[in-house]
Amino acid sequence: MKTIKLQDKVLYQIFPRSFKDSTGNGNGDIKGITSKLDYLKDLGINGIWLCPIYETNFVDAGYDVLDYKQVWKQFGTLEDFKELTTEARKRGIDIIMDIVLNHVSNEHNWFKKACESVDNVEHNYFIWRKTLSENEKKAQSIFGGSAWEYVKSIDKYYFHLFAKEQVDLNWQDPSTIKAMVEVINFWYDLGVRGFRLDAIKHVAKDFDDIENIYFSWCKGSVDFLKDFTKQAFSGKDDAYTLGEASGINLEELLKYGSGKDKVSDNYFNFSWWWIGWSKETGRKGYDANWDFKEFALQQKPFQETKEVKPEMITNFLSNHDTARSISRWGDVNYFWEESAKTHALMLFALKGIPCIYYGEEIGLLNNRFKERNDFRDCDVFSGYIDLVDTEKKYTEEEFTKYNNINSRDAGRAIMQWNKSNNKGFNTTGKTWIKYNDSTFLNDNVQDQLNDKNSIFNFYKNIINLRKNDYAKVLIEGNSKIELQNDIIVITRTNEKSKLVALINMQNKEINFNLPEGKILISSYNQKPLNYKLRAFESVLIEIKEV
């Protein structure tokens, strides 16, 4: 039986390379994270999700794993990691590892041995074809181009759903599952208690159903995952899993998050992920006509279905695969602070576990790049080749503009600790990626810590409300989300309390009669008006029912 209360978590996602550099080489690292544990504890965090820290070539931000049991030298050593878990535990903070289940690097020893001989046991770890059927030839990589790559040494093709440097594992082979179970055991023994299971809906491949271009929940995937989780987590009652199944819907959440087909304790809720993406090219484009109403409509099934328990979903504004929420959906010119606070209130008012992407608590904005060579992401590079050079879908200028809005690199900005030349990331001035050139006077941790009205202290206060005085209703209470006169209204109730969050996601005033009650928190420093909500104004009100 599980010994943790997952619904009590407040998670914080760190993209390690961008967080804090302790050596001055331009790369954030594990020691840098350890040095900021007191800061995170003060914020109210009790779980840190680390994007991959494994040995890697960093073709796809560490999701191209060279060795599951080693730390990338740019990030430090296993000893550094042990210190991190020890110090985090002292502060009541879990470390959550990102477990890359679907693929490994094409330079991983498993794949090297697989390419040496078809008789090596590692050959069966991967998906091979001597010749490709007509259906198989149609399979496309998520990053563009064919999903098959030829290996001359054995005269076969291997399958890669993502970059060609990321070779898909063959989960039909029990040896593959056993090898991944050993990965879980290794990190559990080092003190890890949370495990994010990456890309779990893709682990099985059904080439007869080629219309399912991303191979989502193919036949066999649930059985493979049930076998894996049973072997990996049996007897680990203090461990928990967070499943990444992008686009998961209500039916899938209920089916795979509970009952006989459960394969993860919790799933990330991708309801808002797509808002503002191009309907044709996804995050490689931009839809300027995105509608704020989608924030309510997409969340409604998850919030109002009582079978969805708070521990089953994790809500987020941004993550390593997206740009930053304020840059996408806020107003970075006139209502930067109000936008950041409104987004925070919307996140924390929802049923489910909140997950903060590093820097959201200070209003960190997107990076802005001038040309294609400024970017670092393989997904962006392939987009320039496919959509600009080959298909002529966009001009160079258009595609750069859209990537500054929606790309993953835009969101992987250097964390801003103070006002120094590169925002306190390190003392040498080196950074692995261009750092944010925001000109807001208080766009850093140092300035915001001592400002009671800062974005940081707004986050700190709302986390405190969630963890203490209003824990029962904000964590366990019923949830309803609706639109009233262009205001998103989130209502949380239990037998004793009623809280109403009023969210204005637009940069204009909206006439709205505020209900009578106690204002718990507001995105504006001034007292709310009774008859309207100002641009990006949001409030959380405690209603005293008669």
Neighbours of 413 (CB within 10 A): 28
The single residue of 122, 165, 198, 409 carrying the catalytic annotation is 198
What's the distance, Cα to Cα, between the start and end of the chain in Å?
Answer: 41
Contacts 24+ apart (CB under 8 A), 520-523: 520/465, 520/470, 521/345, 521/458, 521/461, 521/462, 521/465, 523/338, 523/341, 523/342, 523/345, 523/458
> Is 256:229 a contact under the CB 8 Å cutoff?
no
What's the chain's Rg over C-alpha atoms?
Answer: 23
Q: Which residue has the tokens 């990331």?
A: 425
C-alpha span between 74 and 34 (Å, rounded): 15
Of the candidates 5, 2, 1, the residue with the CA atom closest to the CA atom of residue 353: 5
Q: Which helix (H) or strand (E) holds 37?
A: helix 37-43
The single residue of 80, 244, 265, 321 carrying the catalytic annotation is 244
DSSP classification of residue 388: I
Q: How do 240-243 and 194-198 pair as beta strands?
A: parallel
Q: How far is CA 521 from CA 118, 194, 374, 526, in A?
A: 63, 31, 40, 11
**Is 391 marked active-site?**
no
Q: Which residue has the tokens 């995937």?
A: 221
> Is 522:462 a contact under the CB 8 Å cutoff?
no
Q: Compute CA 253 distance to the chain's CA centroid, rounded to the nearest angstrom.
A: 17
> Is 125:176 a contact under the CB 8 Å cutoff?
yes
C-alpha span between 114 and 149 (Å, rounded): 14
> Is 489:503 a contact under the CB 8 Å cutoff?
yes
Give the three-state DSSP class for 247: coil
DSSP classification of residue 389: I
Helical ranges in 444-510 per DSSP H: 445-449, 455-467, 471-476
Of the candidates 265, 249, 261, the residue with the CA atom closest to the CA atom of residue 310: 265
Residues in the chain: 546
Residue 230 buriedness (CB in 10 A; 0-12 / 13-18 / 19+):
exposed
**Is 198 marked active-site?**
yes
DSSP classification of residue 282: B
What is the set of active-site residues?
198, 244
